[in-house]
Amino acid sequence: MIKRVATAVVLIPLVLLLVLKAPLYVLALVAGAVAVLAIAEFLKLVTPYGVKPLTLATYVFVALFFVFVIIASTNRTPLVETTAMIYGTALAAALAPFIFLAVAMRMRRANLTSGYPAAAASSFAFGYVAIPMALLVQIRQLPAGAIWTIYTLLAVWAGDIFAYFVGKSLGRRRMSPHVSPKKTWEGAAASIVASVIVGTLWIQHAPGISSALLRSGLIGRSGGMWGLEQPPLWPIILLSAVVNIAAQLGDLVESLIKRGAGVKDSGTILPGHGGMLDRIDAMLFAVPVVWAYGAWRLMQ
């Protein structure tokens, strides 16, 4: 627990400063690096399943995708960038299985039975990790992007913290004992409540927070949320609940993968937190929800 708290104390201010202050291309570079680290851990996790992953090909494909994200982020028109992101991501996701199958056929000629599982693992890694990390960058480019990005982080973090402490102290009914024995329905309920409260309060007080951040020089005016941009209360309550449910599903999905591989953590890069994939697993499912809501609002 001491290591876990110490790591969080160091990382959280750095993440918030990066989200608020860094140029968009820097945020995209960091998101790409995190995606590659998490994918490296995922590709190690699939080896106990008998899969020999296409490691180099996966890294190259993900790197090229984030080059596209960086280029798209240079456009300062949110609607144009969001449209480009939708088409670019859809194209990359559609091409990924065919590209990885072609690579596998060429590299695995002596053992064709390993080609399809390897291509499937790489395609899943791209959709599972790379696309959500790219969408996190795009949330920052939306109107009031800094506010929405921090909203996403706070909603997920609050849910994670309350699920841990309430589940540990009050949890009795196991949610999914075969996948994640320590998760309880009591912790899950507390997690939803925490995300709804924190997320709703953040958006309700966003104009005042935006003014404070603007005065301190941490955001530009386009990154803040002002009076007329503030969404109604009930959609935010619903959004926060859906974000939390998605985050909990993301946590369970990674637990399923790790349990099948027979490991406790995806890696050891973060003291007290395990691997990079362990740290972002919930975010990978929550980010697309917030991005979809933001993109829908933008296109109205």
pLDDT at site 8:
63
Helix extents (H) in 206-232 = 206-215
Q: How far apart are CA 255 and CA 261, in angstroms?
A: 10
Residue 14 reports pLDDT greater than 70: yes
The single-letter DSSP state of residue 231 is P
pLDDT at site 281:
92
pTM for the structure as a whole: 0.91
Q: How far apart are CA 1 and CA 95, in angstroms?
A: 43
Bridge partners of residue 99, in order along the sequence: none
Instruction: Of 176-185, 200-209, 227-236, give the range with the top mean pLDDT.
Output: 200-209
C-alpha separations of 4 from 12, 95, 280 in Å: 12, 39, 15
Q: How far apart are CA 84 and CA 94, in angstroms?
A: 15
Question: What's the whole-number mean pLDDT along residues 100-109?
Answer: 83
pLDDT at site 91:
95
The single-letter DSSP state of residue 176 is E
